[in-house]
Structure 1
Amino acid sequence: MEKHYRLDNILKTKDLDGNTPDIFIITGSKGGGKSFAVKEYLINEFLHKSKKFICLVRKKDELNSYIPAFWADVKNKFLNTDLYSVSSGSGKFAEVFIKTEDFEISCGYVIALSMVDKVKRISTFFNDADNIFLDEFQSETGDYCAEEITKFFAINDAVGRGFEQLTRKLTYFLVSNMVSLLNPYFVALGIHKRWQSGIHFMRGHGWVMEVYRNKYVAEEKQQSGFYRAFSDAYYFNYSIDNIFLLDNVQFIAKQNLAGARYLMTIKHNGIFYGLWILQNGRYYISLKADRNFHRLFAISTKDHDENTCLTGAISAQVSMCRKQFNAGNFRFESQECKNIGMDFLGIRA
């Protein structure tokens, strides 16, 4: 096993349709060089193949601070070279330049997801980019853009055209530590319902994902005095192992409903599920449900009728339940109930 992460395996992995995927997802425990490997790859792709890259950030105030940190991570790999960015488009984006002993030239851009409407108006600036990188796609603080997946789609539509083509092939690299199974990207791709503990690779239509654990980093951290001092903290396990910081994936456990309080009924594909609050305060989704209960909610429009409300209309309740899930305070009667719970918590259409 390499001491640092390499892209070799994921780049040669085909998607479920047997094609080279457009989206490469890399997640896992902290450390080991996941982001480093992608940054190095992006620069080499430009130097050797003239492929420009786009770095996505979430907020406008990250546009000018992003590249200095990006370059500090990998500059030792590129001697006599410099990478810097310049605010462009009246502050709508930053243009990235690379300077060597032989040339100084534009090699990419930094775009903020929150500014997608402004980016769309000047999208022709970016039609020479081929690779797109979103680092920390899972946020430890939950600080996502409003409607982030919609903005992500809009960026793709804006950048993925030009040179007399209706669409261009773009290659995406989404990298982060393991934070939450309910992050917007896993939910949008259905990964949250297919996840299994110990998984190494997962393939979908147009995407592949690698779950990486660096045993050398884990061993070094376990020997560190700092990490040993905090060995009882949940963050310790998240830092050294492939454990979601905000999730406990071992949530399937049949519970005793004696003394439990019934909260609501969830309807999905014509089947009814009950959401209970147990005596110990945990939330629990079960096949034991009251289909005549006055709080009856449908996850999708297919189940919506005169007797139901759509979950989108109860965002406060969904938000409350999601907080309980993030705190590890949810249980599910079965895998079926868990899958329904993931849809309910993710507010999937």
Structure 2
Amino acid sequence: MANNTSKYWDIYRTLTHNALFYFICGNRTGGKSFGCKEYAIKNFITKGEQFAYVRRTKDDLKDSAKEFFKDISTKFPNYEFKVDGNKFYCRLIEDTEKPKVKPWTEDDICGYGFNLTTASNRKSIPYPNITFIIYDEFLIDIEGGNQRYIKNEPRCLFNLYETIARPGTDHPRVILFALANSTSVNNPYFVKLDLKCPDPETDKPDKNGKYIWHHPTRPIIVENAVKQEMVEAKQQTEFYQLIKGTDYDDFSIKNKFINDDDTFVEKRVSTAMPYFRFIYKGKQYGVWVSMIEGLMWVSEQYDPKYPIVYSLTMKDHQPNTLFLKNKNQAKHFNTFIQAYKDGLVRFESILIKSICYEILKLTMSV
């Protein structure tokens, strides 16, 4: 196990939480990918277990696979490595004096590469020795690049997991590590699985000093992998002096979600009363109002008996809901939009705020 005073992320202490899916959000150069690769290679060398390396698209996989062993090979000086297509190879160097002419074999395969866009083409192929999945760069910086999430991306990842792990069979347990820099909590995975990232400023660390959130009903953890030692090391660099005080400082150094801010994020007061509900992407939210405070709040909490329910898309529309095809015909929702324009709407979390911004863009264009 790595020294706890290291400035790099330690996978072994994270594994003590015994989850099935691990979502790791960390600052750049924090050692997330390196730690997972080292763990995967050790598993192969000591146990013969293989890994899956997952990227979003075919091009992502092609570009990253060829560099997969570049930084990690020095940790294993007695081994040699190779990438050929979607196969990753590792074997012991038998004779350092002579050039290697021995062909690589199936026994040398330590891992396989997958991309989410074409993973469904490999559903019938068994992978009986894979016990560890690395999904690298699962979050996208939509504001700072031209990448996009693929349609129904969480479902694509679930399908790939099932292809590899074969739940319900005698396949050994397979754990998944999804790794990313912190961009936005408004992403398909956090929305689909109701995930939250712990905040070192308000949450307490575990016994190993890690900031980890456990899902209340699913075998999932989310880790904020910020390391104070890494923060301090970066703050001594010239680059830090260049970005100090910018939002990129918060992102790269302090592991803040770069595309999120807590303006208008506020818990509702006890005097707030239900005003209406709405359904968006299959999930219900409550809009509350306090005449005393003169404010509205959007919350994951709602009164299930309150009769006014709007559906915002055709897919969300169901019996006893009002389909919002014209906001001017929806009195309550129109009042909500006007309150937002007047700065009188609060959101109970950054995720809800981000989702509501999507909704407001949608409805204000109707």
TM-score (norm 1): 0.71
| Structure 2: distance between partners of 1:286 and 1:26 | 28
| Structure 2: distance between partners of 1:98 and 1:48 | 12
| Structure 1: distance between partners of 2:192 and 2:30 | 27
Distance 1:309 1:168, change over 3 A: farther
Matched, 1:240 2:253: yes
Offset from partner CA, 1:48-95 (integer Å, 9 cap, x none): 0111000001111233332332211211101032222222xxxxxx11
Distance 1:226 1:300, change over 3 A: same
Given that 1:3 and 1:32 are in contact with CA atoms closer than 8 Å, whether structure 2 keeps it comes out as yes
Offset from partner CA, 1:92-142 (integer Å, 9 cap, x none): xx1111132149511110011000221224x22x23211110111112235
Q: Which residue of 1 aligns with 2:225?
A: 212
Distance 1:332 1:338, change over 3 A: farther
Given that 1:285 and 1:338 are in contact with CA atoms closer than 8 Å, whether structure 2 keeps it comes out as no
Given that 2:55 and 2:116 are in contact with CA atoms closer than 8 Å, whether structure 1 keeps it comes out as yes
SS in 1 for 2:259: coil
Which residue, out of 239, 244, 250, partners 1:231? 244
Given that 1:5 and 1:32 are in contact with CA atoms closer than 8 Å, whether structure 2 keeps it comes out as yes
Larger-Rg structure: 2
Displacement after TM superposition at 1:174 (Å): 1.2
| Structure 1: distance between partners of 2:350 and 2:185 | 12
| Structure 1: distance between partners of 2:45 and 2:285 | 56
| Structure 1: distance between partners of 2:172 and 2:132 | 11
Residue 178 of structure 1 aligns with an amino acid whose one-letter code is S
Instruction: List structure 1 segments (4+ residues) > 6 angstroms apart after TM superposition.
Output: 299-303
SS in 1 for 2:8: coil
Which residue, out of 55, 75, 83, partners 1:77? 75
Which residue, out of 143, 151, 155, partners 1:146? 151
Given that 2:24 and 2:179 are in contact with CA atoms closer than 8 Å, whether structure 1 keeps it comes out as yes
SS in 1 for 2:29: coil
After TM superposition, list the pairs within 5 Å mapping 1:95-244 onto structure 2. Answer: 95-102=87-94, 104=104, 105-121=108-124, 123-124=125-126, 126-141=127-142, 142-161=147-166, 165=169, 168-192=172-196, 196=199, 198=201, 199=203, 200-204=211-215, 205-244=218-257
Q: Which residue of 1 aligns with 2:335?
A: none
Q: Which residue of 2 aligns with 1:277?
A: none
Matched, 1:36 2:34: yes
| Structure 2: distance between partners of 1:112 and 1:303 | 33
Q: Which residue of 2 aligns with 1:9?
A: 13
| Structure 1: distance between partners of 2:247 and 2:110 | 41
Given that 2:198 and 2:222 are in contact with CA atoms closer than 8 Å, whether structure 1 keeps it comes out as no
Distance 1:57 1:271, change over 3 A: closer
Matched, 1:309 2:301: no
Q: Which moved more, 1:245-254 or 1:223-232?
A: 245-254
Q: Which moved more, 1:229-238 or 1:108-117?
A: 229-238
Displacement after TM superposition at 1:207 (Å): 1.6
Given that 1:253 and 1:332 are in contact with CA atoms closer than 8 Å, whether structure 2 keeps it comes out as no
**Alignment coverage as a number of residue pairs:** 293
Which structure 1 residue ranges, 5 or more long, are not aligned? 14-19, 88-93, 256-264, 275-283, 315-329
SS in 1 for 2:7: coil
Given that 2:83 and 2:89 are in contact with CA atoms closer than 8 Å, whether structure 1 keeps it comes out as yes
Given that 1:135 and 1:174 are in contact with CA atoms closer than 8 Å, whether structure 2 keeps it comes out as yes
Matched, 1:297 2:289: no
Displacement after TM superposition at 1:251 (Å): 3.9
Distance 1:216 1:332, change over 3 A: farther
Q: Percent identity?
A: 22
Q: Which residue of 2 aligns with 1:322?
A: none
Displacement after TM superposition at 1:246 (Å): 1.0
Residue 100 of structure 1 aligns with an amino acid whose one-letter code is L
SS in 1 for 2:109: strand
| Structure 1: distance between partners of 2:46 and 2:133 | 17
| Structure 1: distance between partners of 2:219 and 2:63 | 32
